Amino acid sequence: MEVKTPHIKAFPYEEFRDNETLEELSRQLNEGGANVVVSKLDDLINWGRSNSLWSLTFATSCCGIEFMSIGCARYDFARFGFEVTRNSPRQADLIMCAGTITNKMAPVLKRLYEQMAAPKYVVAVGGCAISGGPFKKSYHVLQGIDKIIPVDVYIPGCPPRPEALLYGMIQLQRKVKVEKFFGGANHKEKNPHPLVIDFKGMAKEKLEEVKKFIKKEIDNTWK
Amino acid sequence: MEVKVIEYKVFEQEVQALKAKGFDYLRNLTGADFLEEGLGCVYQFENTKTTENVNLKVLAEKVGEEYILPSISELYAIADFYEREVYDFLGIIFLGHPDMRRLYLRNDFVGFPLRKDYDMSETNPSNQMPEDDEKDSDFTCEYTLDEEGNLRRTEKCLWMPEDYVINIGPQHPATHGVMRYQTSLDGEVIKKIDVHAGYIHRGVEKLCELGTYQQTLAFTDRFDYLSANQNRHALCMAIEQGLGVEVTDRIKYIRTIMDELQRLDSHLLYFSCCAQDLGALTAFLYGMRDREHVLNVMEETTGGRLIQNWNRIGGVQADIDPNFVANCHLLINYLRPFFKEYHDVFGGNVIFEQRFKNVGVLSKEDAISYGCTGGTGRASNWHCDVRKRHPYAAYDKVEFDEITFTGCDSYDRYRVRIEEMEQSLRIIEQLIDNIPAGDFYVKQKPIIKVPEGMYYASVEGSRGEFGAMLISDGGKNPYRVHFRSMGLPLVAVMDHVCKGEKIADLIAISASLDYVVPDIDR
């Protein structure tokens, strides 16, 4: 039983750009092989997940207006199951980062991302979120959100047209479909906050305290 | 632009005299680094009765290492925010200002980016992303001079110990972007709002100084993306004014029509967002549906949906589309009947009226003092339309009414927008069949050098007066560009308007004020 190429209704496989990344992803997953029962369940769950992607309403600038446009009657992303937007990161599946992220906003974005429950996805919308866009040279603009959080889909444009946004979201759907929900998930991230302790110049009492803490942590892990 | 240079010592008296003479509107305040002369500010005052303008330039005095100027925030309420902006970017300390904190940048930011000696390289730690969250300070400070002429800093607490302070934003669906309000409450009633801007401050004014004149244009579209054409129009006019370029009538007509289409686009979105913020999803969809028709007309000519990149120095990018005239007629016929529908479905609704009537009252005097132009000012019966005050483009050739109301509340701010849309259609109707023949572009040199001087041009944007202030030293880069934001006065007034209102009305008031955050932060 293998992870197959994802099928999107009314959008032939050959018409997508960049099928290679997806094929590489499924090849990596298939290397391990999979249990027949589990992968059947995977298919079912991924079918559900990919057709009900809930996004966090996170718009900082122009691209946010285009995000509103695709929610409305003309472009209507409810056709694909994206229509539920959440104001709380805890209930959202993905962040559509629509707009420039500045140095002052970057810690906030990082926090929002960390507050989301896994599996979670990030879509970088527009030139600013991808690389800083026209404001790249500025003293206060983050040069691409992939510097602070992992990005799944990039949608270029300034701002991208609604059609481009929809295409990007469908690409994300395909990515969700090529995933193992049980077992070898390929969307598991490494611990974002490795514990770094600087022992240099630490007072003796403090050092003892830290040692005790580490011992306790290790004990807890092994229990 | 005529600028009167005055001495530091007589500055305060001069401003007091101006205010007594009826110059009650502080139009713009530009801080700049004049290199050998030191730091200074250019103040623009307007008499709202006679539309007469006075511009003052004053250089800051040096005390030790610091530059100082007297604060005029007691005379003009909006000077409070403008002076904080100048302090933030240039480090001029305003004596007697009650709240001398940074407005846009983090309070641990080192340096003043708009000074000419600011290090823009990537190695400067100030330009790098901070690792930690911003630590909020509950304290602010005031600077005064003691008898010996030394600076004295007095710390003041922003909040009382019994205050219950809640934080709204920066990630909040109803703040129209990334705006943050620290709100102190007494039960449900708002006692004070502390505005934290700058979450989308992109440093455009510094970027303008680094680029050529043509390169500055693209930034303006991305301030207030709902007045993209108008913003760019203002900067183009300022540069053309400097170059002494006289554009043809055809250009003026096309620009005017495009500005009005953009206004329709913005006001339709305003209607939608008002509905959305108050929970009326149907009306939101109706507004967005009709907005697409306006975008279609613009797109067919300019190629851009939201951001058009259409004006350029000396004209527009290309001639209008052959179908443009017919499309505009179709649009006018399509939109006209819908204003009644909006009223039936949303504006005349009892729930809506109760949420908006007598909520967020802003008197005319306060509107002028806070510099709240646009629909907000006109709802407070202030005749502040730039199209009437200082006609530009083809606005002197058309007939239209300046919509004003006397209710001063949120409901009137909403009504101004709806009726202005009808006026926009009226303006387009008068111009569209009479676009004169001629060039759509007056040829410019590839390298533009604006003669030394100061130039200011303003347009009526979708939500107020948008101005572009250009200081040129004759080189191929602008020496200093400052934009008069439409939204900054609107958030500055939030504290004043919301005081005594319920917390649930904060969302309704901010929806009715209609600010766009990237325009505030620039």
Q: How confident is the model at residue A194 (pLDDT cuts 50, 70, 90)?
A: low
Given A61, A106, A139, which is nearest B203 (Cβ)?
A139
Shortest Cα–Cα distance, B303 to chain A (Å): 11
- What residue segments make up the domains of chain B, in order of their start? 1-120+142-156, 204-513
Asked if residue B314 lies in contact with residue B429, where contact means CB atoms within 8 angstroms, the answer is no
Look at residue A34 and tell me whether its pLDDT is greater than 70: no
Count of residues in chain B? 522
Q: Is the pLDDT of residue B134 over 60?
A: yes
pTM to 2 decimal places:
0.87
Query: Residue B381 and residue B425: Cα distance in Å, rounded?
Result: 22
Q: pLDDT grade, residue A221 (50/70/90)? A: low
User: What does the pLDDT read at residue B263?
Assistant: 92
- Whether B520 and chain A come into contact, CB under 8 Å, resolves to no
| Beta carbons of A161 and B120 less than 8 Å apart | no
pLDDT class for A217, splitting at 50, 70, 90?
A: confident
- Whether cis (ω within 30° of 0) applies to the bond prior to A119 is yes
In sequence order, the β-bridge partners of residue B45 are: B26, B54
The residue-averaged pLDDT of B472-476 equals 87
Asked if B129's CB is within 8 angstroms of A147's CB, the reply is yes
CATH of B1-120+142-156, picked from 3.40.570.10, 3.10.20.600, 1.10.3860.10, 3.30.460.80, is 3.30.460.80
Q: How confident is the model at residue B266 (pLDDT cuts 50, 70, 90)?
A: very high
Output A1 or A31, whichever has higher pLDDT.
A31
Range B131-138 average pLDDT? 81
Handedness of CA B100, B106, B108, B113 (dihedral sign): negative
The CATH class for the domain spanning A53-174 reads: alpha beta
Answer whether B518's CB lies under 8 Å from B223's CB: yes
In the predicted structure, residue A184 carries a pLDDT above the cut 60: no
Task: Nearest by CB to B202, from A72, A111, A135: name it.
Answer: A135
Q: B477: which DSSP letter?
A: S
Q: What is the pLDDT of residue A222?
A: 62
Q: What local confidence, expressed as pLDDT, does residue B521 receive?
A: 87
**B218 contacts in A (CB within 8 Å)?**
134
Q: pLDDT-derived band of residue A192, with 50, 70 and 90 as boundaries?
A: low
**pLDDT computed for residue B332 by the predictor:** 92
Which CATH class, in words, describes the domain spanning B204-513? mainly alpha
Query: What's the rounded Cα separation, in Å, for the pair B227 and A3?
Result: 48
B-interface mutation test, from A55, A69, A139, most B Cβ less than 10 A away: A139
Report in angstroms the alpha-carbon separations of B477 from B3, B30, B215, B316. 21, 18, 9, 21
Is the pLDDT at A197 greater than 70? The verdict is no
Residue A79 confidence (pLDDT)? 86
More confident residue, B206 or A34: B206
Predicted confidence at residue A191, as pLDDT, reads: 55
pLDDT, mean over chain B: 88
- Please tell me the distance from the alpha carbon of residue B106 to that of residue B103, in angstroms, as a whole number: 8
CA B231 to chain centre: 10
- pLDDT (0 to 100) of residue A189: 56
Strand partners, B182: B167, B194
Selecting from B124, B170, B202 the residue whose C-beta is nearest the C-beta of A138 gives: B202
Dist CA B206 CA B113 (whole Å)? 7
Distance of CA B110 to the CA centre of its chain: 26
Q: How confident is the model at residue A190 (pLDDT cuts 50, 70, 90)?
A: low
Given a cut of 70, whether residue B126 has pLDDT beyond it is: yes
Phi, psi angles (nearest 5°) of residue B498 = -85, -15
Three-state secondary structure call for residue B411: helix
Name which of B255, B192, B221 is nearest B398 in CA terms: B255
Range of weakest confidence among A67-71, A131-135, B126-130, B339-343: B126-130
Mean pLDDT across B398-420: 89
Mutual orientation of helices A162-177 and A20-31 as an angle, nearest 10°? Answer: 20
Weakest mean pLDDT among A12-26, A188-202, B385-399: A188-202
Contacts of B220 in chain A (CB under 8 A): none
What residues in B contact A57, CB-CB < 8 Å? 173
* pLDDT (0 to 100) of residue A37: 65
Which class for B100: exposed (0-12), middle (13-18), buried (19 or more C-beta within 10 A)?
A: buried
Q: Please name the amino acid found at residue B349.
A: N
Mutation to test the B interface, candidates A74, A76, A90, A104, most B Cβ within 10 Å: A104
* Inter-chain touch A103–B130, beta carbons under 8 Å: yes
Between strands A121-125 and A153-155, the pairing is parallel
Compute the average pLDDT of residues B204-228: 88
Place of tokens 């395909």: A174
Pull the structure tokens for residue A15.
Answer: 């018409």
Q: Using 50, 70 and 90 to split pLDDT, how confident is the model at B483?
A: very high
Residue B379: both structure tokens together: 């709802």
What pLDDT score does A186 carry? 52
What average pLDDT score do residues B70-97 get?
Answer: 90
Name the strand (E) or helix (H) holding B155.
strand B151-157
Nearest to A139 among B206, B219, B269 (CB): B206
Find where tokens 């851009």 sit: B304
What is the pLDDT at residue B144?
A: 85
CA angle B492, B410, B276 (to 5 degrees): 95
Name the band, by pLDDT with cuts 50, 70 and 90, for residue B482: very high
pLDDT of residue B267: 92
Taking all residues of chain A, what is their mean pLDDT, rounded to a whole number? 80
**With 60 as the cut, is the pLDDT of residue B271 above it?**
yes
Q: Is the pLDDT of residue A202 over 60?
A: yes
Residues B20-44: pLDDT tens digits? 888 889 989 999 888 888 888 999 9
CB nearest to B178's CB, from A105, A138, A161: A105
Share of chain B above pLDDT 90, in %: 16
The answer to whether B207 and B220 are in contact (CB under 8 A) is no
Count A/B contacts: CB-CB distance under 8 Å. 126
